Structure formats: C-alpha cells, structure tokens
Chains A and B, each alone.
Chain A
Amino acid sequence: MDAMPKWADVLLVPLISIVIAFFFSGLVILAIGENPIDAIRTMIQGSLTSSYGWGYTLYYTTNFIFTGLAVSVAFHARMFNIGGEGQAMLGGLGVAMVCLALPWPHWTLALPAALLGGALFGALWAAIPAYLQAARGSHIVITTIMFNFIAFSVLNYLLVNVFKPPGSMDPATAVFPPGTALPRFSDILGVFGIPFSAAPPVNVSFFVAILACFGVWLLMWRTRLGYEIRAFGHSESAAVYAGISPFKITMVAMLISGALAGAMAINNVMGESQRLVMNAVEGAGFIGIAVALMGRSHPVGVFLAALLFGFLYQGGAELSLWTNIPRELIVVIQALVILFTGALDNMVRMPIERAFLAARRRRKAREAGLGKTEPAE
C-alpha cells in the first residue's frame, strides 16, 4: 500500500518544501542585513496585489507553463530535455518568420499560424538530438545542452546577418505587422468592463497555455500514444515486449516536447516584444525543468508550479527595484526553491511518510484495542 494519501503527496510535500525554502531565503536576507518580512511583503505587493503585478506574474507563468509542459512530456518518456531554452529560441524564429511573412489582417489568423511556426521550429530543433538518441544512443542530456549553445549562435547569426532591418544597429528583426498584435488582458477584460492595467504584457497566450495543459493531459492519459510514452518511460524492456518501438517513442516524445517549448514564443515574441530579439527566452527553458520537477510532470502540477515561479520572477524584479536586495539574490531564492522542491524532495517526503505510517499504526492499534476486527492483509 502507498505510504501516504495522495493529497499529502501532491500538495503537502511541495508546500512544506516551499516553506523551508522561504525560511532559508529569509536567513540569507537577514545575513545581508535586510528585513525578510519586508522583503516578502514587497514581493507579494509587487506581484499579487495589483492588476499590474498580476499581469506580469501571469505573463511569466505563461512562459513557464509551455516550457514546463515540454520538459514533462519528455520526462514521461524518461528523457531529460534540457534543451527547452534552445527550442524556445528557435520557436521564436518560427513565430517571427510567420509574422513577417504576410501582412496579417487579424490576430485570430496570425496566432494559429504563428503557433504552428513556433511549434514546428521547436520540434525540428529537438528532432536532431532525438534522432541521435534514438538511432545512435547519444545521451539526450548532452546533446540538448549543446543544442542550446548552437541555437544561440544560429539565432545571433541570423539576426545580425539576415533579419536585421537595413540601417538598424540592433540585432533584432523588424517589428511585426500590427495585425499580429495579440490582445492583452486589458483588452480582453475591457470588453466586460473589468479594468486591468495595460502595461503588463500578459495576453491571450495565457489561455493557449491552459489549453496546452489540457491537451497534454488528454494526450498522456487518454490516448494510445500517451499510454505508450508512459509505458516506455517506466520500462523500456516492457515496452519492447508489448511491441512499442523505442525509436518511435523517443522521436515522437521529443518532437512534442520541442513543439511545446517552441510554442512559448507566441507569448514572449508575438505577445510581448512584437519582434524577435536576442535572449528573448530569458532562461524560461531552464525554469521549465524546475516547474516540471515540482509539478510532478502533471499538467495541473505544472500550472501551479509555473504560477509559483511566475510570482518569484515578478516578485524578485520588484524586490530589486524597491529594496537594497540585489537582483542576484532573487536567483538565490529561486535556486533554494528548486533545491528544496526538486533535489531535496525526499528530505521532506521521508519524515512525512513515516509520520503517516506511525499514525496509521496507532489507529490500527486503537481499533484493535476497541475490538474492531481488522481484516487480515
């Protein structure tokens, strides 16, 4: 029997991990002579108490949902896709090429096309490491890391030599046509008369990300392909026994993973900057790893974890704006959250499991003492 109920596994353990992470973050802030209570207040005020703050938090959340889902799908096939960063960069290229190709009349046409472009480029960038893994056994971790660097260089070359408008000194593409501008939350909520700050870049991509969560859930738990991906991820030998091709699953899972990472570009490239710049991804590909780990590779978990990291990102930005806490410390806090929720997961999990077991034993003993007969195992 499982050691503890599902709610404890899914909610209690991560929550306790987060509390511990914040406790240690507080100690670090104390150590540099600042007040941790003030710090957390600044973070919450800056990210969760205004539509401005929420706008930024949800904008980052959208990025992290896409990359978190990307890492999750690969995880289910027991592959560690560290290449989300590069795949999202190439996704940006795909989105930019689609947006610049036509004078798009309306965003409802541009968005599906750009989504396809971003997903396709992300998938293609993942396809090469996937093939090397499936056919040659080259480890996906190594190849996807290397492909992040290659993506950066390729994009750098293309922006400087191909896409930079003549006369510009900035390594970026031209601004996209106005028909590609995605409605922001202020536009959408404005229709219903709900005021929302127009400054933050959160846009309709957020809903696409939620749809992607649902799509990934449907894929993994309601289709044959998802079933085969999960079976392969749990046991390659059993998959081969059942007639599931490791080559096919490796390729397909990585293509989906890359496509999800690439799809992120509709948010940061199309939704926010309206042109492709260098370093548009801002590390979201790597955050996706933490999000997938913390979210236990389940879309609901990924959504919640993405929200947490969206808060950390926005709150951290506010922190460096309004306090003397340096920007670098935000990275420390994020790292502590990753450390406690991902790497040190068992440190929290084991004592909680033991507590549940002890409680169950006590309950059993009490019931036995009351004369209730417990059926033999």
Chain B
Amino acid sequence: MALDADTAGRPSPAAPDQTAPAIELRGISKAFGPVQANKDISIRVMPGTIHGIIGENGAGKSTLMSILYGFYKADAGEIFINGQKTEIPDSQSAIRSGIGMVFQHFKLVENFTVLENIILGVEDGAMLRPSLAKARKTLKDLAAEYELNVDPDAVIEDLSVGHQQRVEILKALYRQAQILILDEPTGVLTPAEADQLFRILARLKEEGKTIILITHKLREIMDATDTVSVMRRGEMTATVKTSETSPEQLAELMVGRKVLLEIEKQPAAPGRMVLEVENLQVIDDQGVERLKGVSLHVRAGEILGISGVAGNGQTELLEVLGGITKGTGSVRINGEEIDLTGKHSDGRTRRHRGIAHVPEDRQREGLIMDFFAWENACFGYHDDPSYNRGMLTDNDAIRGDTEKKIEKFDIRPANCWLTAKNFSGGNQQKIVVAREMERNPEILLVGQPTRGVDIGAIEFIHKQIVALRDAGSAVLLVSVELDEILSLSDRIAVMFDGRIMGERLPVETDERELGLLMAGVDKVPAGVSEVEAVEANLDAAAREG
C-alpha cells in the first residue's frame, strides 16, 4: 500500500512545471534466502522535497536504498527516475542517473585531502593538476551555494565526523547528483552538528535537489521532512505528509501497535555509595590514551547516564569496569578497591563482585550468535553452582532457568533451542538483559541498551532498567541516544575526548546544553556562535587524535 506522496502545490524551483516524480519505485521485491527484505514496495518522491523513510532495524530500509543505488538487483519491480524507466545495475549507473549516496560509514580515503577525495574516480585525464584546479573552483562555488564549508586542503583524518560527512555530500554534488540519499546521517553527530546538517539539507532542497533521509529517529522525521514513508518487516506500511502525522502515529505504524514513548518513573532514592571511580585511565593497544582520568560515582538506587558522541571513551569506560580491558586509577565497589591490572581479575571476577554488564555490542560480546538461547542465557555465569553438577554442566537446570527468563522477559519465539542469530535484535537484547538483570546485581553496566532494538522492546527494556534501579541497584548507563539518557537518567555525565565534561541533572538541563558539552564546549566564548565553537573544538580534537 503506497499512498500518494505527491506534494503538488509546492512547486520545486529547479523544474517549476515538471510533474514527474524524481524517483518512483513500482513493486520492488527482494529476498535473501528465506528472508523477504522488501515486499512489493512502491513509492513516489517529488523533486525538490525531503522524503523520510523510517522503520526499525531490519525493516528493509537499507536494502531498498541499496537497490536504488545499484548494490543489489531487485527480484521484481521497476525504477523510474524523473519519469523515465531506468535500470540501475551498479553504482556507476546510479551516479549517471543523478543519484548520490551518503553512507552511514563514510567511504573516504583517510589520508587523502578533501580535494583528492572529491575527484577520486572522476579525474579527467592522466594528470591530476587540472582536475584538482577544476575541483577547487567547483568546490568553492558549492560551498558558497549550500553553506558547505570545508577546507579543500585538509586531510580527511584531521576532520571531525561532521565535516567528513560534508565531504561525502560534496562528493555527491560534484558528481552532479540531483537526488541525495542519506543513510542514518545523524548517528555519529552531536546535536549541534545534526542541526547544521539539516540546515544544509534544507538549503539543498531550496535549490531543487531531492533528498531521501533514512533514519529511525522520529524527531528527525518530524523536523526535517516533507513526506514520510514507514517501513515494517519489508513492507511499506504507509506514506504520509509529515505535517499531517504525529510521532505517536508514526511509532504505531512502525511497530504495528500503540507504544508508550515516555517512561514513567518515580524520582530516585539514592542510597549508599556503591561505585566510586577516581582518575581512571585507559591506554589502548596502539598506545592511544582513551580515558584521560575519569572520576564518577553511582549510588544504590540511581541511574547515572553517560552521554556523548560515540567514540569519546564510553566504550573503554564500560570495558575497563567490566573487566575486559586494563586500566590505571582507582575503582571501589562498596568501598573496596578492585584490581584493574587484569592480572587478578577479568569479566568473571567482576561478576562475582556483583557487576553485571550489558555490553554495547551484543552480537560481538554479549552473545555467541551460533549458540542456543539456553547456552547464551548462562554465558558468563556458567560456573554458577546451580548450573553444574559435579564435573558436568547441568543442562536441564540451565534450560529450566532459561524457560523462566523467556517467560518473564517475554522473549519471542519462546524456544530455548533456537540459536541467538534466529532472534530479532530486540529479543537478542532481551536475552542479554534477562541474563544480566535476573541476579539483582549491585551494579549494572549497560551500554546502548536499545541499539538496533525495535520500539516495543525498547519500552520493555527501559522499564526493566528502572525497575532494577528501584530494587536498589546502581546503574551506569551509556548511550549515544540523547532522548534515552534524558528520560532514564537521574544524573547525567557528558563525556568528550576521554574525559567527563560535566555533570547535570536532567531537570536542569536540555539538549542544547548537553550538545555543547558533547562537543567539549563548556562555555561559548564571547563573539563566537555556538556552532562555530562546536566546530572549532571538534576539528581541534580530530587533528589531535
């Protein structure tokens, strides 16, 4: 079912009397083995509009865009570009058709300059100099036209993530893209950078470009798009005008039932001090300092949220507390020092001390994807006496315990003989969460609890975290989702570049202030705009790192 996304009455400036959609897909289907990734998808996007595609992980958004960009061949269906039927067998023909793609993971040569990256693959002639000169001029025009300012001679690895993303956009524009597809573009940006990106997109739209924005964040859809299509389980469930819908309605369309977007929780009642961290430092295998002296504390019955853009030391903080990596400094649990050298401690000894850990990456760390659910449900706790009988493991006991967890945490399908990879992201996460929370740990370390998790499961997992807090556990929550941090945390600490930039109470702060802290900006200097301060700081950090 595809309602018409026609935006008549809003003529696009580039082609005032053109009525053909910039992109039209008719009946696109694609299967990977037993998985139907796209089912009979039809969509029309008018030129000069921003069209959002929203859906949960695995809904088929990326597959659809990969078909449009020529990475996959559809099993059935047709593609029309500006009203003309077009075959897109590879990305070269997509580019020739005027489609540009900005991937979630940038495709840039790290040690090339901006200019070199821009002309890569479209150099004219054997000599570089004329191409570079031409590109420099084009780049200058583009920068002026769309406010896409980047130093053409900067080396990519010295640029902040936000600026690298601009280079990707410039690359597409340099190849004369009329249609720009952005896949989860704000995942790695601070809120200020995201705002800046949306300003650029609005500008591109004014100039008549067509933009497709793929995201799972409802707020971005509401803020930035003209029309929006919702995908669920490979199908396009609706296409609506953004102005005529609401976040609640979109969420319902994504999940297929009503969802609670807000978390209900009572104010925290912090008790005794449980976790004290002082001057914690971590140096990684390459000799890079990842944690530069972090101090924090968490009391029983409270949630400390660690906010920050991915890659600013949050992962290392969780890993060193969880016993995965070594560190220096001091960590006390209930006043007792724990070993950080890795000689006398690992994940197992941490668990014995009452630290449970829901890792950031469940597929890489939290689960063994080829193990059965019941084998995963005891992972890390497999030396527990209740799971063993003498020399041998008591598999019946483990399975019985797993059945209970499956019931309590509503894990579906309710079958402990399925391997972890056969569960959806949300149910995989529930297996990890059930395992780590069921023992009422003193401390719960939890990283990105709802990454790649469907909305229904998000609601459930959030409730469980709050319930654990109310039961008296100290919770250290790391998340890059600002909404999640704001709604769950009792206190918020912001990390930037391996340090804690500051601590705020959720009621006394807002996204703007946290966003500045996430970019390492404590105070905006006089005479400088916030955005400028953020950008200056992030670029400086990129050069230093």
Query: Which A residues fall within an 8 A CB radius of B?
Result: 1-3, 218, 222-224, 227-228, 230-231, 234-235, 237-238, 240-245, 353, 357, 377
Is there contact, CB below 8 Å, between B370 and A241? Answer: no
Chain A residues near B375: list those with CB within 8 A.
227
16 A-B Cβ contacts within 8 A?
A3-B34, A231-B371, A234-B368, A235-B369, A238-B364, A238-B379, A241-B347, A241-B365, A241-B380, A242-B347, A242-B380, A243-B347, A243-B380, A244-B347, A357-B33, A377-B233
In the complex, the chain A residue whose C-beta lies closest to that of B381 is A242
- Which of B371, B379, B383, B422 has a CB less than 8 Å from the CB of A1? B422
In the complex, the chain A residue whose C-beta lies closest to that of B361 is A237
Chain A residues near B391: list those with CB within 8 A.
223
Q: Within the complex, what minimum Cβ distance (angstroms) separates A34 from chain B? A: 43
Is there contact, CB below 8 Å, between A234 and B347? Answer: no
Interface: B203 (CB within 8 A) = no
* Cα of A245 to Cα of B344 in the assembled complex, Å: 12
Which of A230, A243, A245, A353 has the largest count of B CB atoms less than 10 A from its CB? A243
Is there contact, CB below 8 Å, between A235 and B368? Answer: yes
Chain A residues near B233: list those with CB within 8 A.
377
Chain B residues near A238: list those with CB within 8 A.
364-368, 379
Interface: B349 (CB within 8 A) = yes
Known: A231-B371, A243-B323. 13 other contacts (CB 8 A): A222-B392, A224-B382, A224-B388, A227-B393, A228-B382, A235-B364, A238-B367, A238-B368, A241-B357, A241-B365, A242-B348, A243-B350, A245-B346
Chain B residues near A230: list those with CB within 8 A.
368, 371
A243 with B366: in contact, given A223-B392, A231-B371, A231-B379 (CB under 8 Å)?
A: no
- Which of A218, A224, A241, A245 has a CB less than 8 Å from the CB of B383? A224
* Cα of A244 to Cα of B369 in the assembled complex, Å: 17
Is there contact, CB below 8 Å, between A241 and B366? Answer: yes
* Cα of A1 to Cα of B36 in the assembled complex, Å: 13
Which of A218, A224, A357 has the largest count of B CB atoms less than 10 A from its CB? A224
Chain A residues near B33: list those with CB within 8 A.
3, 353, 357
- Chain B contacts with A in 372-388, Cβ cutoff 8 A: 375, 379-380, 382-383, 388
In the complex, the chain A residue whose C-beta lies closest to that of B398 is A227
Chain B residues near A228: list those with CB within 8 A.
382
In the complex, the chain B residue whose C-beta lies closest to that of A240 is B324
* Cα of A71 to Cα of B324 in the assembled complex, Å: 30
A237 with B365: in contact, given A227-B375, A357-B33 (CB under 8 Å)?
A: yes
Interface: B249 (CB within 8 A) = no
Is there contact, CB below 8 Å, between B393 and A243? Answer: no
* Cα of A246 to Cα of B201 in the assembled complex, Å: 48
In the complex, the chain A residue whose C-beta lies closest to that of B362 is A238
- Which of B34, B349, B364, B388 has a CB less than 8 Å from the CB of A243? B349
Q: Within the complex, what minimum Cβ distance (angstroms) separates A296 from chain B? A: 13
Q: Within the complex, what minimum Cβ distance (angstroms) separates B68 from chain A? A: 26
Q: Within the complex, what minimum Cβ distance (angstroms) separates B113 from chain A? A: 35
Is there contact, CB below 8 Å, between B392 and A231? Answer: no
A241 with B324: in contact, given A3-B33, A234-B369, A235-B368 (CB under 8 Å)?
A: yes
* Cα of A238 to Cα of B368 in the assembled complex, Å: 7
* Cα of A230 to Cα of B367 in the assembled complex, Å: 13
Chain B residues near A242: list those with CB within 8 A.
347-348, 379-380, 382
Chain B residues near A244: list those with CB within 8 A.
347-348
In the complex, the chain B residue whose C-beta lies closest to that of A2 is B422
Q: Which 9 A-B residue pairs are closest in the complex by CB-CB distance?
A: A243-B348, A243-B347, A242-B380, A241-B365, A243-B346, A234-B368, A222-B392, A237-B364, A238-B365
Chain B residues near A3: list those with CB within 8 A.
33-34
Chain A residues near B349: list those with CB within 8 A.
243
Interface: B462 (CB within 8 A) = no
Chain A residues near B388: list those with CB within 8 A.
224
In the complex, the chain A residue whose C-beta lies closest to that of B380 is A242
A contact face: mostly helix, strand, loop, or mixed: helix
Q: Within the complex, what minimum Cβ distance (angstroms) separates B81 from chain A? A: 33
* Cα of A34 to Cα of B346 in the assembled complex, Å: 64
In the complex, the chain B residue whose C-beta lies closest to that of A226 is B393
In the complex, the chain A residue whose C-beta lies closest to that of B391 is A223
* Cα of A285 to Cα of B363 in the assembled complex, Å: 35
Chain B residues near A231: list those with CB within 8 A.
368, 371, 379
Chain A residues near B359: list those with CB within 8 A.
241
Interface: B322 (CB within 8 A) = yes
Interface: B292 (CB within 8 A) = no
Chain B residues near A222: list those with CB within 8 A.
392-393, 395
- Chain B contacts with A in 91-129, Cβ cutoff 8 A: none
Chain A residues near B357: list those with CB within 8 A.
241
* Cα of A245 to Cα of B348 in the assembled complex, Å: 10
- Chain B contacts with A in 322-369, Cβ cutoff 8 A: 322-324, 346-351, 357, 359, 364-369
Which of B348, B368, B383, B388 has the largest count of A CB atoms less than 10 A from its CB? B368
Q: Within the complex, what minimum Cβ distance (angstroms) separates A5 from chain B? A: 13
* Cα of A3 to Cα of B383 in the assembled complex, Å: 34
Chain A residues near B370: list those with CB within 8 A.
234
Q: Within the complex, what minimum Cβ distance (angstroms) separates B387 from chain A? A: 9
* Cα of A139 to Cα of B237 in the assembled complex, Å: 51
- Chain B contacts with A in 14-43, Cβ cutoff 8 A: 33-34
Q: Within the complex, what minimum Cβ distance (angstroms) separates B378 from chain A? A: 9
Chain B residues near A224: list those with CB within 8 A.
382-383, 388, 393
* Cα of A224 to Cα of B393 in the assembled complex, Å: 6
Chain A residues near B392: list those with CB within 8 A.
218, 222-223
Q: Within the complex, what minimum Cβ distance (angstroms) separates A243 from chain B? A: 3
* Cα of A224 to Cα of B323 in the assembled complex, Å: 20
* Cα of A377 to Cα of B380 in the assembled complex, Å: 31
Chain B residues near A235: list those with CB within 8 A.
364-365, 368-369
Q: Within the complex, what minimum Cβ distance (angstroms) separates B315 from chain A? A: 12
* Cα of A245 to Cα of B383 in the assembled complex, Å: 14
Chain A residues near B346: list those with CB within 8 A.
240, 243, 245
Chain A residues near B369: list those with CB within 8 A.
234-235
Q: Within the complex, what minimum Cβ distance (angstroms) separates B415 from chain A? A: 11
Q: Within the complex, what minimum Cβ distance (angstroms) separates A358 from chain B? A: 11
Chain B residues near A227: list those with CB within 8 A.
375, 382, 393
* Cα of A261 to Cα of B347 in the assembled complex, Å: 33
* Cα of A222 to Cα of B393 in the assembled complex, Å: 5
Q: Within the complex, what minimum Cβ distance (angstroms) separates B241 from chain A? A: 29
* Cα of A228 to Cα of B347 in the assembled complex, Å: 13
Chain A residues near B322: list those with CB within 8 A.
241
* Cα of A375 to Cα of B382 in the assembled complex, Å: 35
* Cα of A238 to Cα of B365 in the assembled complex, Å: 4
Chain A residues near B379: list those with CB within 8 A.
231, 238, 242
In the complex, the chain A residue whose C-beta lies closest to that of B424 is A377
* Cα of A237 to Cα of B347 in the assembled complex, Å: 12
* Cα of A3 to Cα of B419 in the assembled complex, Å: 13
A1 with B347: in contact, given A227-B393, A241-B324 (CB under 8 Å)?
A: no
* Cα of A240 to Cα of B366 in the assembled complex, Å: 10
In the complex, the chain A residue whose C-beta lies closest to that of B350 is A243
* Cα of A130 to Cα of B438 in the assembled complex, Å: 38
